[in-house]
Structure 1
Amino acid sequence: MTAYLVTILVIVAIAILVGLALNFQWGCAGLVNFGVVGFVALGAYTTALLTPVVGWFAAMLAAAALSALLSVVLALLSIRLADDYLAIVTLGFGEAVRLVLLNEDWLTGGALGIAGIPRPFAGLVAPEHADLALLGFAVALVGIVYLTLEALVRSPFGRVLRALRDDPVVAASLAKPVLILRIKAFAVGGATMGLAGAMHAFYMTYIDPSQFTAITTSYAFMAVIAGGRGSNTGLMIGAGTIMLLLEGTRFLKDLIPALDGSQIAALRLGGVGVGIVLLLLLRPQGLLREPQRKAASLLGEPDLADMADPSLPPSHPQEI
C-alpha cells in the first residue's frame, strides 16, 4: 500500500509541474499551448539519453534548457500569429515530436523506447527506499518551481504578462516589448515542462512514445481550469484533485464487477469532464481566484476600505 501511495504522489508531483508550466504560459501570459506533451517528452528523452553520460543533475538542466530553447524558436515562428493559430502551431509541434521519437530508432529507440534510466541518488539510498527518495526529490522540485514561478508572477514582469494576456494592443501601446515577453513566457514554461519530463523519466526508468499522448495536455488544461487560471496555489490543488480522482477511481472495478477496464476508464474521464463543466458553470474563476494587487497597495498607500469608520455600515461612505 505504501508503494502505491508513493506512486500516486509522484504522479501528482509531475502533473503539478506540467500544470504550473501551462499556468504560466496560458494562465498568466495568455499563450495557448496545445503542444505540452511535446515539451514533456522532449525533457524525458533528453534526460534518458544524457543521464548515463553526464549524470542526472546535468541531464535535468539540459532537458530544461533544450525545452526552453525550442520554446523560444516556437515563439519566434509564431510572431505574427493570433492565439487561435498559435494553438494550431503548438499542436503540430507536439505531434512532430511524437513522430520523431517514434521513427528515429538510432536516437530514441523508436517504439521500443529507452530502458534502464538511472535515478537520482541511486547509489546513496537503499533499493527499498528508492521510491521514497525520489518522492522527496519530486516534492522539493515542485516547491522550488512553485516559489520561483510565484515570485515571477508577483513581480513587475508577471504584471506585464497579465497585461499582455488581457490586451496585447494596449500593452504594445505602452511601449511594452510584446515579442520579448512572449518569448520569455514560453521559455520559462517550456523549461518547467522539461523538468516535468525529466521527473517522468526518473520515476518510470523506461520511456517510449506511447507514454506521451494528447491526454497529458488535456490533464494540464483541466488542472489549470479547475484550480483557477493564473493562480499557482489553485493549480496545485486542482492538479492534485484531478490526478487523485483519476487514480482513486481505478478501484471502481471492485465495486462494480459488471464493468470492464475500458468502461471504467471511460467513466473516470467522463466524470472528470462533467466536474470541469460544472465548475465552469458554478465557479468559472476556478477553486482559487487569481491573486490581485490593489493600486493603493502598489503605491504604498493605505486602502480606502481600511480607512473607513468600522461603526458605519458598508453602504454609507465615511463622513468628513
Structure 2
Amino acid sequence: MVGYLVFLTISTAIFALFSLGLNLQWGFTGLINFGHVAFMTVGAYTTVLLSLYGVPLIISALIGSLLAAFLGLLIGLSTLRLREDYLGIVTIGVSELVRIFVNNQQLPTPNGLVDGVQGLQSYPLPLTNLVPNPLFKLATVGLLTGVALLCLWRMWAWVKAPQTKKNSRYSFAVRVILGIVAVAFIITIYLTGLTALSDYSRYEKSGLMVTVLVVLTMVFWLLELLVRSPWGRVLKSIREDEQVPRALGKNVFWYKLQAFMLGGAIAGIAGAFFAWQLTTIYPNSFEPITTFNAWIIVILGGASNNAGTLLGAIVFFTYEELTRNVLPQIIPLDEARLAAFRIMVIGFLLMVMMIWRPQGLLGKKEELTLGK
C-alpha cells in the first residue's frame, strides 16, 4: 500500500509541475499551447541521454530544462505572432513533430546507436543507491514537514478568505469540503513519506518522491513571486488585451516569449522526473493526451491560479485512481471500453464544470480568458 501511495504521490507532483508551466502560458498570458508535451519530451530525453554518459543527474536535468526553454524560444520566435487557435494548431503540430523525430532517429548511447522506437532503458535514477544515515533522514523529514506545513497554511488561508459578492455563489461549505479533501491528501502524502523513509531499502522511490515534492514547492513559490510582481501583471494585461500594454510601451512579443520559454523550462524539469519515475521511456510515452491531461488539471483548478493547479492535479489523479480501481467492480466492461468510459465521464464532468463554474475550482471569473 505504501509503495502504491509513493507512486501516486510522484505522479500527482509531476503533473502538477507540468501543469504549472501550462498555467503560466495560458492562464496568465493567454497563450494557447496544445503541444506542451514537446517540452517534456526534450527534458526527458536530454536528461536520460546525458546521464547515460555519466553527467550528474542534477546537471542533466538542468540542461534538459534549458534545452526545453530553447525549444520554446524557437517555437515562440516563429509562432507567437499568431493568435489563439492558430497558435494552438501550430504547437500541437510541433509536439507531434518532436515525437515522430525521436521515434525515427537513432539515439547515441555509450553502447552504440539505439533506434528511437526501442526506447531507452537502464539509465541512472536519483537516490537509488543511497544508504541514508540518521542525519540525512532527519533533514529529509524536516524538508517534508516544511512542505506539508506550507501547503496546509496556503489551504487554510484560502478556506478562511472572506466571502464577497463575487464569490457568494461559491459557498463557504463547498470551499470547506475541498479544503478537507486537500488536507487529507497532504496528510496522507506526509505520512506516506515518513513511512517510506523509515524503510528506505524497501521503498526505493521514496527519495524521488521527496525530491519532486521539494522541487514542486520551490517552483510554485517562485512562480507566485513572479506572477505577483510587475512582470506578472504585464502578462495578465497581455492576456486581457495586448493592445493596452503595447500602448504603454511594453514589448508584448518579448513578454510572451519569456512566459513561453519559462513554461517550457518547467515542463522540461517535469520531463526529467517523468523519465525517472517510468525507468524506461518510449516516444509513445509523450503523446498528445499528456498535454490534454494538463489542460484538464488547469481548467479544473482554475486558470491563472497556481494553487488551483495543484488542487486540480489532486482531484484529477484521485478521479483516475478511484475509477481505475472502483469502476471494474461496478460496470462489467473490458479494459478498453472501461478506459473509454472513464474518459467520457471526465468529459461530461468538464462540461458540467464549464456551465456551473467555468473559471474552475479556485479561479476568478473576472480573469477568465475563454471567449474573450
TM-score (norm 2): 0.76
Aligned mates of 2:16, 2:40 — CA distance in 1 = 13
1:41 — aligned with what? 41
Answer whether contact 2:43 2:268 (CA < 8 A) is retained: yes
Q: Cα distance, 1:254 vs. partner?
A: 4.1
Deviates more, 1:282-291 or 1:193-202: 282-291
* CA 291–236 in structure 1, closer or farther in 2 if over 3 Å, else same: farther
Answer whether contact 2:328 2:338 (CA < 8 A) is retained: no
> What is the SS of the residue equivalent to 1:128?
coil
Counterpart pick for 2:206 among 127, 132, 138: 132
Pairs within 5 Å for 1:212-227: 212-227=286-301
* CA 241–76 in structure 1, closer or farther in 2 if over 3 Å, else same: same
Answer whether contact 2:106 2:116 (CA < 8 A) is retained: yes
Whether 1:233 and 2:307 are equivalent positions in the alignment is: yes
1:112 — aligned with what? 118
1:193 — aligned with what? 267
1:10 — aligned with what? 10
> What is the SS of the residue equivalent to 1:106?
strand
Answer whether contact 1:33 1:87 (CA < 8 A) is retained: yes
Q: What per-residue deviation string (whole Å, max 9, x for no partner) do you get for residues 110-144 of structure 1?
A: 11100012111222145423211111111111101
2:242 — aligned with what? 168
Whether 1:208 and 2:282 are equivalent positions in the alignment is: yes
Aligned mates of 1:181, 1:273 — CA distance in 2 = 33
1:183 — aligned with what? 257
> What is the SS of the residue equivalent to 1:114?
coil
Aligned mates of 1:197, 1:37 — CA distance in 2 = 9
Unmatched runs of 5 consecutive residues or more in structure 1: 294-320
Answer whether contact 1:75 1:186 (CA < 8 A) is retained: yes
Aligned mates of 1:224, 1:289 — CA distance in 2 = 10
Partner amino acid for 1:8?
Answer: L
Partner amino acid for 2:128?
Answer: A
Pairs within 5 Å for 1:223-302: 223-252=297-326, 254-256=328-330, 258-290=332-364
1:58 — aligned with what? 59
2:153 — aligned with what? none
Q: What per-residue deviation string (whole Å, max 9, x for no partner) do you get for residues 264-292 of structure 1?
A: 11121111111111111101111012499
* CA 122–225 in structure 1, closer or farther in 2 if over 3 Å, else same: same
Pairs within 5 Å for 1:78-93: 78-93=79-94
* CA 257–275 in structure 1, closer or farther in 2 if over 3 Å, else same: closer
From the CA coordinates, give the structure whose radius of gyration is larger: 1
Partner amino acid for 2:6?
Answer: V
2:71 — aligned with what? 70
Answer whether contact 2:125 2:276 (CA < 8 A) is retained: yes
Answer whether contact 1:246 1:269 (CA < 8 A) is retained: no
Answer whether contact 1:27 1:229 (CA < 8 A) is retained: yes
Aligned mates of 2:76, 2:107 — CA distance in 1 = 29
Give RMSD over aligned pairs: 1.7
Q: What per-residue deviation string (whole Å, max 9, x for no partner) do you get for residues 239-273 of structure 1?
A: 11112211221113541362111121112111111
Whether 1:121 and 2:123 are equivalent positions in the alignment is: no
2:176 — aligned with what? none
TM-score (norm 1): 0.88
Task: Indicate the structure whose relative CO is greater, using CA pairs within 8 Å and at least 6 residues apart.
Answer: 2
Aligned mates of 1:151, 1:86 — CA distance in 2 = 27
Q: What per-residue deviation string (whole Å, max 9, x for no partner) do you get for residues 14-59 of structure 1?
A: 1101110000000000111111111111111111101132111001
Aligned mates of 1:85, 1:253 — CA distance in 2 = 38
Unmatched runs of 5 consecutive residues or more in structure 2: 109-113, 132-199, 368-372
Deviates more, 1:81-90 or 1:278-287: 81-90
Aligned mates of 1:214, 1:106 — CA distance in 2 = 22
Q: How many residues align?
A: 293
